[in-house]
Every structure is written in structure tokens, then in C-alpha cells.
Amino acid sequence: MKLLYNVIIYLYIFYIRVGSLFNSKAKLMIIGRKNIFERLKTEISNSNNSELRTPNFQLIWFHCASLGEFEQGRPLMEKLKLQQPNVKILLTFFSPSGYEIRKNYTGADYIFYLPMDTASNAKKFIEIVKPQKVFFVKYEFWFNYLSELKNRNIPTYLVSGIFREDHHFFKSTGAWFRKQLSAFTHFFLQDDKSIELLNSIGYTNSTLCGDTRFDRVFEVSKNVKQIDLVKQFVGNNKVLILGSSWREDEKIVQSLKLESLKLIIAPHEIDEKHLSSIEAEFIPLLSEGLLRREGAGVCLRYSLANENNIKEAQVLIIDNIGMLSSLYQYGTIAFIGGGFGKGIHNILEAATFGLPVIFGPNFHKFAEAKELIKLGGAFSVMDVSEYEKTMDLLSDEQVLKTASQISRMYVQGRIGATEKILSATF
């Protein structure tokens, strides 16, 4: 099985190299890993040689697959830096959607792509980095790296972990995969089901801690910055925020016909083609007065907004990255994108501000979505008809108030994972 795994890794590398000729994401993966060991030696080895003279020096390695996992690792990195200023943090990403957005993140001392998981790369990487402790976030399992870490007796932890029955570890053919989990010193898991699954294959070194994202979104909500133009846009109106949207989500929301409700759209992709398609869909509706019974409105990009035109706008399109988590403070209801595709995006950023959340049908891999639906703070819709019924339901002030309270209390009742993990590992 180890041979087969390595063959698959090399085939994947070949696939990425070929794909880089046609695909921009694959190209970034290749460019970002170019000369990576030379760059690691320059930045980290030289630092190690001097910093190791300091008795309290530690280099801690955090690995995140992409941006979502980064948001789970971020509270740990930032809290660790506060508690132990001498610690150096290495942050690695597998995907460009994480690295390219967070390559200038100031909470880590070194930020790199993770070299592809070959045995030689793993050995070379760890030899250069020499981490004192390693944190893999959620469910990123690279078995050559895990094997090398185990061989060197380096404490390795899985944080905000989730296991599902369909993972390789729990199948009749998964003996080799199960064995690889022995590289982890401890598992810090999100739910009881994950603990039960690990126990079923003989691993009892786990702790139920919850999801560190709760700590992150709660902290953001306490320190959120005001955005004056958005505040002027909102005025005294109720606001629907369409966050991390794709075309399928935007088409659902186009049926909106509630009075005195403004709309903020923060699309997942902000290329010109997508932004233009949003305008092409919403401007005719505005001109026909369908989005607001009082009459026509203006569909405005945030980059073109100013004090003279923002108040008259009915739809505000956010054409930048990094603003969404602050926007939710101005919302009344949130529609979270991704539910008509591979899966919903982060609903906790909206819930922490007390927004009821709506999303498409593909949410079943997300525990927080299932739990919030049961509690009454979230709603899944299959089509326009269900969306309109949900919005009609939330037009009742008491229903809206109750759903809002449920969302806010759901987040506040689940903070604390970050402190539990750091207390157990340092």
C-alpha cells in the first residue's frame, strides 16, 4: 500500500505539472514550490543557526490545506504568539487558495507552500525546518510527512479534527491508513462521533475540544471595525448579505421582493466576468422595481462607491477580498454561498453577529450547519420556492428575533477550544 500511495503521489505531481500549462491554479502550485528548499534554507536554516543559541527558542510548524483550515489554525497561532513571544511559527499551505491570500499574514514568521508529499521531500523538509512541535489542521493527512515526523519522535497533533465513516481509516481495506495515524501524539477533535470512530480502530489518545473557528469568529466580532460607506448604504434598512456566493446562489436570491430590504453581495470570486454577470442579472430587476416595491434602485460596486452615491444604492457588490467577516455586523439575514456546489462556506462568521443563516442543500459535511438547523438558527433551501418561504417566515419580527438569538448563542456557547489545545500541548 505504501508503494501504491507513492505512485499516486507521483502521478498527482505529473498531473499538476501538465495542468499548469492550462490551469492558473495548478500553475501557481508549481511556481510557488519552485526552489522551495533553497528558500527554506535561506529563511529558516539561517534563523535556526542563530536563534538556537537562545534557550527558549522553539519553531512550531502549522500546516493548513487551504483558507478554511487557516481560519481554524489562526486562533492557535495568534494565542501562542501572545503566550510565548519567543516562539517562531512556520505556516505551510497545500493550496493556492490559502497561500496566495495569506502569504503576507503577520501572525507567522515563515509562510511557504508544503512541498509535495514524497519520501525524499518530507525528509529534506523536516531536516531543514527542525520543528519542535507540529500541528496539522482538520484532516490534512500526508503520510510521508507523518512517517518522517514519527521516526524523529517529533510531537504531532491534529487540531479541530473531524473523522467520518467514509474515510479510508474505517474501511475494511484501510489497515495501512489506520497504521499511519500512530504518528499523531494526540487528536483534538470537534465532535463525539469522531472520538467514537477513532476508538473503534484502537486510538484512544483523543480529546473533545470543539472547533477553534468559534474562537476566531467570536474574537472578530468583539474587535470588528466600522465601515463607514457600508453603514451609510444600510441606513435604517434591513439587509440581506449574500456571502461567498456563486452564480447558483445569486440566481436564488434574485427572487427577492421584500420591502425596505437592501442587498450586499460578496461573491466568492471577484473576477470581472463574475462581477459583470451579477450586474447583468440584478440591474434589470432593479429597473423594474422588483427588488424593492418603492421603485428602482442602483446596483453599485464597492470600489466605485462614495458618499454621494452609496445611500441611493439598493444592491452593493463587494469587489474585494477580506471584507466579508466585517460586513456581517450590518446584516439582518445571511445567505451563505456554496450550498449548490461542493459545500457551504463559513456560516459562523455570520452567526456570531446574530444573523439567521440560509444556504443550499449541500451542507451535510458541516456539523455547525446541521446543528443550527435543528436549533432554528439556520435554514436550508433547495430552490427559489423554498427560499421565498424562508424569507417570508423571517419577515415575522418575532421569528427573526428568535433565530437571531439562537445563532448568536450557538457561537458563544462553543468558544474555548484554542485554550484547551494550547494548555495541553505547551
Q: How confident is the model at residue 282 (pLDDT cuts 50, 70, 90)?
A: confident
Q: How would residue 358 be classed by pLDDT, with cut points 50, 70 and 90?
A: very high
For cell 527554506, what's the residue? 40
Percentage of the chain with pLDDT > 70?
93
| pLDDT reading at 294 higher than 50 | no
Question: pLDDT tens digit string along 200-214?
Answer: 999 999 999 999 999
Between the alpha carbon of residue 61 and those of residues 215, 244, 283, 294, 404, the distances in Å are 20, 29, 48, 56, 38
Mean pLDDT taken over the chain:
91
Interatomic CA distance for residues 328 and 351, integer angstroms = 9
Q: How far is residue 383 from each of residues 115, 278, 368, measured CA to CA in Å?
A: 42, 19, 22
In this predicted model, which residue has the larger pLDDT, 124 or 139? 124
Q: Which helix (H) or strand (E) holds 261?
A: strand 261-267
For a pLDDT cut of 90, what percent of the chain falls above it?
84
The Cα–Cα gap between 265 and 278 comes to: 9
Q: How confident is the model at residue 321 (pLDDT cuts 50, 70, 90)?
A: confident
Query: What DSSP element (H or E) covers 313?
Result: strand 313-317
Least confident piece of the model among 139-153, 258-272, 391-405 = 258-272
pTM: 0.83
The candidate with the shortest Cα–Cα distance to 111, out of 126, 94, 127, is 94
Lowest-confidence region among 25-29, 295-299, 310-314: 295-299
- H/E stretch holding 408 reads helix 397-412
Q: What is the model's pLDDT at position 267?
A: 95
Per DSSP, which regions of 43-154 are E strands?
58-64, 87-93, 110-113, 133-137
* The pLDDT of residue 181 is above 80: yes
| Least confident residue range of 84-88, 231-235, 297-301 | 297-301
Q: pLDDT, tens digit, for every residue of 23-77?
A: 999 999 999 999 999 999 999 876 665 555 455 668 999 999 998 899 999 999 9
Dmax over CA atoms of the chain, in Å, equals: 71
CA 91 from centroid of its chain's CA atoms:
15
**Distance in angstroms (rounded) separating the CA atoms of residues 335 and 147:** 42
What is the structure's pLDDT at 312?
A: 85
Q: How far apart are CA 67 and CA 246, in angstroms?
A: 17
Whether the pLDDT of residue 296 is over 60: the answer is no
Residue 78 has a pLDDT of: 96
Structural domains in the chain, CATH included, are: 2-210 (3.40.50.11720), 226-412 (3.40.50.2000)
Q: Are strands 238-245 and 261-267 parallel, antiparallel or unpaired?
A: parallel
Rounded (5°) CA angle 18-22-28:
80
Give the Å distances, CA to CA, from 72 to 20, 142, 322, 325, 417.
29, 18, 16, 15, 10
Q: Grid coordinates standing for 79? A: 494565542
Q: CA torsion angle for 183, 185, 188, 189 (degrees, to 10)? A: 40
